[in-house]
Amino acid sequence: MADPQRISCDMIDDDVAVVQFKDRKILDEGAIQDLGRELFGLVEEAKHKKILLDFTNVEFLSSAALGKLISMHKKVEQAEGKLEMCSIRPEIYDVFKITRLNEKFDIYDDRDTALGAFRA
């Protein structure tokens, strides 16, 4: 996988890929396409099965970006992996609730709680 421009990824406990987003506002179509390629590469190329998306840096997320997250969730499920999310700002979480994506995704308040879910 080429050096990611939109995300950073750290390994925790040698098996959980913790992903942070570099962009504060995920709006631009080109950036969203790049983000999708980088996220999908974690599953398809790097073969990660446990992925935590940490939204600490994200202030705004477009509906197109939500579509990439849904596709990412499907890819992880197909790989028989687990995708968790954490640290989503209340205004972004409201969008997850309105679209009922909060029922599809496992979302935790903070990184430590989410990492605990992988260990459970």
Residue 42 belongs to domain spanning: 7-114
pLDDT of residue 120: 82
Q: What is the CATH number of the domain that holds 56?
A: 3.30.750.24
Q: Phi, psi (5° rounding) for residue 74?
A: -65, -40
Count structural domains, the chain: 1
18 assigned to some structural domain: yes
120 assigned to some structural domain: no
Per-residue pLDDT of 44-77, as tens digits, reads: 999 999 999 999 999 999 999 999 999 999 999 9
pTM: 0.95
DSSP conformation class of 102: G
Per-residue pLDDT of 86-107, as tens digits, reads: 999 999 999 999 999 999 999 9
Contact status, residue 7 vs residue 35, Cβ threshold 8 Å: yes
26 assigned to some structural domain: yes
